[in-house]
Structure 1
Amino acid sequence: MKEAQIIKAYEAAKERYAQIGIDTDEALKKLQNISLSLHCWQTDDVTGFENPDGQLSGGIQATGNYPGKARNIEEVRKDIEKAKSLIPGSHRLSIHAIYGDFGGKKVDRNEIEPKHFQSWIDWAKANDMKLDFNSTSFSHPLSGDQSLSSRDKAVRDFWIEHTIRSRKIADEMGRQLNDKACHNLWIHDGSKDLTVDRYLYRSLLKDSLDKIFATKCPNVKDAVECKLFGTGLESFTVGSHEFYMGYAVKNGIMATLDMGHFHPTEETYDKISAMLLFTPEILLHVSRPVRWDSDHVVILNDSVQMLAQEIVWADALNKVNIGLDYFDASINRIGAYVIGSRATQKAFLQALLSPIKQLRDYESSGRFFQRLALLEESKSMPWAAVYDYFCLKNNAPAAEDYIATIEQYEKEVTSKR
């Protein structure tokens, strides 16, 4: 789209929103401060650099075989830089422990150190990004069906050491980048069929977590992530929502809410206000489940819109850390990055542009027809013109213009891999 066209459309939208008491310039200032934590694993289907030819295991899998998958750390970074250039605003990068710069050497997970991620920290500084981190319990000879909840103390000790080291790496990232890094702990632990020792496994997990968090990391925001079930572990998940919610509340850390980790009839947005009353902050994994935790590319659907509305309307933008988590290997991977990131931004922009004061007035006075009518009319307001202007201000392509850029990158770069 041409610059003059974007500006003209924005001025018209600005005037229209002013008629319902909304300052679009103020909304854009707030949107500018919303940083998404992009996920490095969209580039290479969660393979990492321990063993480039390895297979995923332990309750996780990527589907699809679209050409152009990143094969090494240089290609991962190149793809992220390209995606970053097409997403307006300033954003973060979330790294899994298997993405260390190991220099071709075998480094087991209980041996990882900050030095294996120093080049990521340097890269982040050069690209004006902050970093987040994740321990990695899947796709390892000791993964099995249980890791931190294993009956085998040696297995538990291995994963405890790995997670402590992961938190120390996150701590170093936060220290050097002068911004606390979120460390997310998700494990696949569970059982495919009926389980009679649920209490035992959860007791073991609690004990492992207590040992992990005994190590203080001042530059880290700790989070624990629940799940309903995993692939091959359908009957029992040790780290359920109730388990981690209780642990987070008791210990003053964050609970991670992944949009694909609950029952298909549950909506993640409804958990926000409840959790924020009892935990200091929340970590989000914005994703798109289709019948299960299938990690489809995020789109601007009702679930994402309601999530953004709940956060904005609760005045909780400073209490919610927004990360993305999907790894669709069936389409152009950079395209998947950009679609999902921009869809998430659009949802937050719509929430920032909603006439919440009037909506609250209607609700408090029992005028529910008026409330519903205004909610519906808000959907057709010219928010897209405001987002295009946001792209223009951030030197990112507006509207569908990014498609051609990604096609060119595929032609010149990813198709030759």
Structure 2
Amino acid sequence: MSSQNLKFSLNNLQNEFGVERIETAIAAVEKFEVEVPSWIFGQFGGGRFGDYMPPGFARDIFEKLDDAALVNELTGASAQIATHTLWDFSDDGLDATFDKAAEVKKAAEARGLRLGSINPTYFLQGSHTGSLSSYDDAVRERYVEQTILSGKIAEELSNKLLSLWLPDGSNYPGQLELTKLIDNTMDSLKRIAKQVPESVRVLIEYKVFEPGTYSTVLADWGSSLLMAQAFGPNAGVLIDMGHHYHSTNIEQIVARLVTMKMHGGFHFNTRYAADDDHSVEPNPEMARI
């Protein structure tokens, strides 16, 4: 668009909405940033059923930081990077350490980046019985402790934001007791809440299905809302744009949460085939929201 057309369009907007409102909007856009997830640079090729990996994928967190720095250089609006605790702060995928997180923070800053939301990793080895809802006390304890560590990392090394997504659910009727899964999850979150400082914002994400094919513990905004309310005043609901049934009115969900003065956040995603298609183009719902 030519500068003349831009000026014409700007004048039209100012005439319609007023100069002050347009200047406020422009200032907000100039400060707007999108947090980039570290895992998008890793081994994610081939979809669910293929093993193709595009060349040049990042092999560790430091190569992910290199890629994220390039994206920020190109866009000027993505200096913050989200990390996954067991992918990025662990050497074996089982146990993370605060020292490794501190090393990653230092490496990020050397590349002009800063750590954003910290995401506990609930879906690696040992999670087939669930994570925070697991019937196995040892498994549940492991994930509770990982979440508490993630809260410490969020408090001391990042932007004080903890993002939780649980893969917990079941594959067929009768496999697991649904009420027990809910009770275990709520109990785990209450235990975590006692150890995570209130200065840390905790957002609880939902997903309509997957990996469980029959039931999902946190399948909708209402289930996440209940867990957030049980957690405490520093908790809220994370809305992933790709985690809904087709035709779901996401704007109405946002309106409900805003009315309840609930903390919130967004993951930009799509749901062309089912849900969670991982496409990165802008979502039409965002304009309506």
- Are 2:130 and 1:146 aligned? yes
**Is the CA contact (8 Å cut-off) linking 2:105 and 2:157 kept in structure 1?**
yes
Mapping of residues 189-200 of structure 1, within 5 Å: 189-195=168-174, 197-200=177-180
**Is the CA contact (8 Å cut-off) linking 1:149 and 1:201 kept in structure 2?**
yes
Give distance in 2, aligned partners of 1:116 and 1:158: 18
Mapping of residues 3-402 of structure 1, within 5 Å: 7-23=3-19, 24-45=22-43, 65-89=53-77, 91-102=79-90, 105-106=91-92, 108-109=94-95, 112-126=96-110, 127-140=112-125, 142-174=126-158, 180-195=159-174, 197-231=177-211, 233-241=212-220, 242-250=222-230, 251-252=232-233, 253-306=235-288, 310=289
**Is the CA contact (8 Å cut-off) linking 2:83 and 2:116 kept in structure 1?**
yes
Cα deviation, residue 303, structure 1: 2.2
Give distance in 2, aligned partners of 1:244 and 1:74: 33
Cα deviation, residue 211, structure 1: 0.9
Structure 1: where are the runs of 5+ without partners?
48-55, 175-179, 311-417
**Is the CA contact (8 Å cut-off) linking 1:249 and 1:278 kept in structure 2?**
no
**Is the CA contact (8 Å cut-off) linking 1:170 and 1:182 kept in structure 2?**
yes
AA aligned to 1:259 is M
Q: Normalising to structure 1: TM-score of the pair?
A: 0.62
Instruction: Classify 1:61/1:115 alpha carbon distance in 2 versus 1 (closer, same or farther; 3 Å).
Output: farther
Give distance in 2, aligned partners of 1:93 and 1:171: 15
**Is the CA contact (8 Å cut-off) linking 1:181 and 1:220 kept in structure 2?**
yes
Give distance in 2, aligned partners of 1:74 and 1:130: 13
Identity %: 21
Instruction: Classify 1:204/1:21 alpha carbon distance in 2 versus 1 (closer, same or farther; 3 Å).
Output: closer
AA aligned to 1:29 is A
Cα deviation, 1:28-53, whole Å, max 9, x if unaligned, reads 20112322221111101369xxxxxx
SS across alignment from 1:27: helix
Instruction: Classify 1:118/1:46 alpha carbon distance in 2 versus 1 (closer, same or farther; 3 Å).
Output: farther
Cα deviation, 1:109-128, whole Å, max 9, x if unaligned, reads 3xx23211112222343415
Q: What's the Cα RMSD here? A: 2.6
Give distance in 2, aligned partners of 1:149 and 1:301: 32
Structure 2: where are the runs of 5+ without partners?
none
Instruction: Classify 1:68/1:90 alpha carbon distance in 2 versus 1 (closer, same or farther; 3 Å).
Output: closer
Give distance in 1, aligned partners of 2:185 and 2:199: 24
Give distance in 1, aligned partners of 2:61 and 2:72: 16
